[in-house]
Chains A and B, each alone.
Chain A
Amino acid sequence: MNVENSKAQMRKGVLELCILSILSRGDAYTTDLINMLKEDEMLVVEGTLYPLLTRQKNAGLLSYRWEESPQGPPRKYYSLTQKGREYLSQLEEGWANLVNTVDAIRTRKNA
């Protein structure tokens, strides 16, 4: 057992929700997503994001398009699909419940 490991597991669990949430505010290119998630310390190693994005895309939650970049090869821009929006609202509901439940457990006085 180690604290960093446990924290990492927690972050991984909600990373999916965070990606969808960021994309619900506007399209983003993978590196933008990485920078935002890293700034908020939601992402420790960048590699974690890629399998997740690909899975969400293949599940129809995200779509992407290629856009030219000022330097270097074209970039992948992701956007949230209608299905992704619905999925996100379900996840948000789940998250709210989870926070409430966990708080209730943490603050409950043992009878």
Chain B
Amino acid sequence: MKKTVTVSLGGMVFILQEDAYYKLDSYLKSLEAGFAQDPDHIEIMADIEARIAEHFKGSFPNSDDVIGLSEVLRVIEIMGNPNDIGSQQHSGKASEPFFSNRRKKLYRDTEGSVIGGVCSGLGYYWNIDTVLIRILFVIVALWGGGGVLIYVILWIVVPEARTVAERLEMTGNPVTAENIGKSFHGSGKRTK
């Protein structure tokens, strides 16, 4: 027994088995990263998604068909991997990793928050125990009230980590389908 995921692709709806979904998702993400330099990458991706949808529809014409991993692999083979496709424009760069942006971003961690998630977010960002940051804020607040002001400003300015991808960016994990999958299953748990 396998879980399924319903997706919309190129204006059509498909049901994919979970492993097929993750494979397709990571494929599309790597393609998109490959085209990221291209100013037209949104249009190119839309065209490619439409073509993939056409392939799926060709093999599975009924709307309640479930698409498995083998079909996804078959279509990826036909469409080509990012190196084959991307090398046309920037050859030489083709072997660069697709996810080089392992940089952390500062978000508010509202899932592990006491007030607004600012301290928890800073904890991830600097890789320090959140408790220490909270104590520091409290001390500064008692000292002259500046801590409260700083906290409120950060609360307003720093965005909340809403999506799984943003949570991964916050914790410094690369945004890959595998990691997104992991976070789905253990949502809310710290992955330090």
Contacts and interface: CB of A to CB of B under 8 A. Distances in A.
Interface of A: 12, 30-31, 34, 44-48, 50-55, 58, 71-73, 76
B57 interface: yes
B44 A30 contact: no
* Band of interface residues on B: 20 to 34
A71 B40 contact: no
A45 B51 contact: no
B44 A54 contact: yes
A52 B11 contact: no
Given A47-B80, A72-B12, A73-B53, 8 more contacts: A12-B88, A31-B54, A45-B78, A45-B79, A46-B78, A47-B48, A48-B80, A50-B44
A46 B40 contact: no
* Chain A interface main SS type: helix
B54 A51 contact: no
B57 to A, nearest CB: 6
B47 A53 contact: yes
Interface of B: 10-12, 31, 35, 38, 40, 43-44, 47-48, 50-51, 53-54, 57, 78-81, 84-86, 88-89
Contacts of A44: 80, 84
18 contacts: A12-B88, A30-B47, A31-B54, A45-B80, A45-B84, A46-B79, A47-B84, A48-B84, A48-B85, A51-B38, A51-B44, A51-B86, A51-B88, A54-B43, A54-B44, A54-B47, A71-B57, A76-B47
Contact of A47 (B10, B11, B12, B85): B85
B30 to A, nearest CB: 11
B134 to A, nearest CB: 49
A51 B40 CA distance: 8
B56 to A, nearest CB: 10
B89 A51 contact: yes
A72 B168 CA distance: 36
Nearest to B82: A47
A48 B57 contact: no
B8 to A, nearest CB: 11
Contacts of B48: 47, 50
B85 A58 contact: no
Contacts of A30: 47, 51
Which of B35, B50, B81 has the most chain A CB within a 10 Å cutoff?
B50
A71 to B, nearest CB: 7
Contacts of A71: 57
Contacts of A31: 51, 54
